[in-house]
Amino acid sequence: MTDRNLSEAAINGYVDMMRAKNEGLDDGVPRTTDTASPTSFRTWLERVLEPVVRA
């Protein structure tokens, strides 16, 4: 990565991120009725974010 002009800090950050992902970062909390939102991400985007961005 140093041959692509990345700083030592950027390389360390990338390595740390990949290590965390390999150790289960993306496993998160299983979706259940207790942990899931009744609104899907797409619905939230369409109803909340899109109107703000288009304004």
Q: pLDDT tens-digit profile of 1-55?
A: 667 788 999 999 999 999 999 998 888 778 788 888 888 889 999 999 999 999 9
Can you give the pTM of this predicted structure? 0.46
| pLDDT score, position 4 | 79
List the domain boundaries for the chain: 2-54
| CB 46, CB 36: distance < 8 Å | no
Give the distance between the most distant pair of CA atoms in the chain.
48
